[in-house]
Structure 1
């Protein structure tokens, strides 16, 4: 079944690009202009589109490609090369590991934490969750619900309390109980960026001071259905946090595929996981070649 349960994920993206490739018998400037336009319409940024077109032109010319299937395959290879960040696409395998999950509310952050916790648990790791989004009503309740589904304990405080206090208690518990992976939910109040930055800085200092032996990951959760808004969120959060990777959610619908390519290229951020459904097992490790091949049903 691969990365995608539902091949409609990239339908809009695929249809636009395929129509250009199949509908142009000649590989001329008109072909390249139409293909470039189809990429931009599919939410791929201008700079990334220019890079894709330049790489594709070179491959077409070097291999004298004329058949639509060969050109589609060459385009998939180009996209795979752009989103492939090597070892950075993989989550740290050094334990203990602390993962800070950031992103706006509604993007699938809590759901992704639950799926990630279950993934670690099934691989034999001990896991602890920290409900440090203390400002959103029911945020901790949702995290506890996910924790219960995979048998993972959640450290929580009362709503409205200092998020850093939750992190402090979670770190102490993780150290005392030799926990392999501590996953921390955080607030997604990007409209109040200054306060959010201060909160994240405070959390970071506590983890560094109290848990210096732990390896670290800071993952931004982006909703693939939001198009260019996801790109804007990546930019905004990159300014207030040292992001190590992306969790791309909601790739089970008819989302445009372009934003995933643009975000990882423009901000040099590796995609580490993709969410392909609502089930607890519907979080998949990112594979660049499988991802690019999935765009064209390869």
Structure 2
């Protein structure tokens, strides 16, 4: 894929989030093909160091080529953002002006059938962002028992018919392994199809989301990465987070709300609060979303939500 064909989501809102900030150092926690990076590097020529983080070797290769004109400024680190932010915090705590976290899977990854993220293309049941990790969607679908599958689909997919889907999977795999994205999508469509006819949503959507989140430990990684990102920021530094579904957005929202409070609940049953200093100022009380024009150009932006904070 040509990186120039990749459309970064919420690009104008991202530029606005950092527009009045003098940026010396910046962290792009999900570099992808480098779409947001090129926008920010063009808009902020004062940037001296731009750290791009990603765990997908192919994305890193594409981004390296796309950002070659800024090769003296850009440093790419391989790994998920929990690992990479942890490493950066050792040497850059309180030194970073801006951080962008674009959560979820890029269209570049979704369109690669060999990654197995999408039921739109037939491919192996993989779903690993980092091919060096061992756990795959195939292993979950073909070895986890009905109770664990139900839990995964209910918690990570918020699928109302989680047990029905899990039971259909366990029954089908007794005949033969569920090997491809099409195998799984067809199976789920047969088991849950009638529940989704009025929603204009493919019946396998939430099941695929749940599997991807578990394979890549996305929610766990996010919960650990947010405090690290905050620790890395300078006072007046900004953190912008783009999420694509309610589970991610809820974690981000609750973390920001807690950090912005000037009181903290004490333990015990008394319900007492103690004063504390807020660590951030929330710059977007409600999540920022794409306008109709962007959604028309890039349908993926429809589900994107942006939250922005400034460190105190």
TM above 0.5, yes or no, is no
Select the structure with the greater relative contact order (CA < 8 A; seq sep ≥ 6). 1
Q: Which has the higher helix share?
A: 1
Q: TM-score range by the shorter chain?
A: 0.3 to 0.5
